[in-house]
Amino acid sequence: MGQKNPGEALAEEAGILRQLGRQLQELEGMVLAELRVRYKALFGEEARSKNLPFLRKKLAFRLQEQVEGGLSPAALARIEELAPVTLPEAQARAGRVKVPPPEPKPPQPRDPRLPEAGSVLRRDYKGFSYEVEVEEDRFRYRGRTYTSLSSIAKEITGTPWNGFGFFGLKKEKSDGQE
């Protein structure tokens, strides 16, 4: 085989880049089903995502990678340095091991400023009376459930409030002083 002259090599490269440009432009017009078929062809597995912009970007990257080459050895070495495959998360990404789900956080202790569950907090505000029922780990106001008193206070007033302050729940006294 003979060597190509510089003009032929440049023309061939320009043709490859034009073809890549057409493929990238085609991605913009594809619907989800078409993108998923293309994903399977390029990656050899089903796409887990149904997010159109994400799939388009991922496919575009793969097409460019095929034409221009993947990450450089230096970039791959840096990735390995920052997240070695020996870490469980990296092994899971590589499909080598399954990482157990994180352990659930222990329940937070109940705020000592809150009255016991079943109590009703009352507040008069701008001529109206408001009642909130205290449950074990949430609050009920007008038939709806809330996780914080602050969100109820904001609904009542229309402005952000500290829920404990709005409902008159004082801070615990530290050493018997007021």
Eight-state DSSP code of residue 112: T
pLDDT tens track for 139-156: 999 999 999 999 999 999
Residue at 171: amino acid letter: K
Q: Is the pLDDT of residue 23 over 50?
A: yes
pLDDT tens track for 91-116: 666 665 566 777 888 877 888 888 89
- Residues with Cβ within 8 Å of residue 168, at least 6 apart in sequence: 123
pLDDT tens track for 157-170: 999 999 999 999 87
Q: Measured on CA atoms in the order 162, 112, 122, 117, is the torsion positive or negative?
A: positive
Q: Which residue is listed with tokens 């995502």?
A: 49
Eight-state DSSP code of residue 144: E
Residue-averaged pLDDT of the chain: 83
**3-state secondary structure at position 73:** helix
Residue ranges per structural domain of the chain: 15-93, 120-166
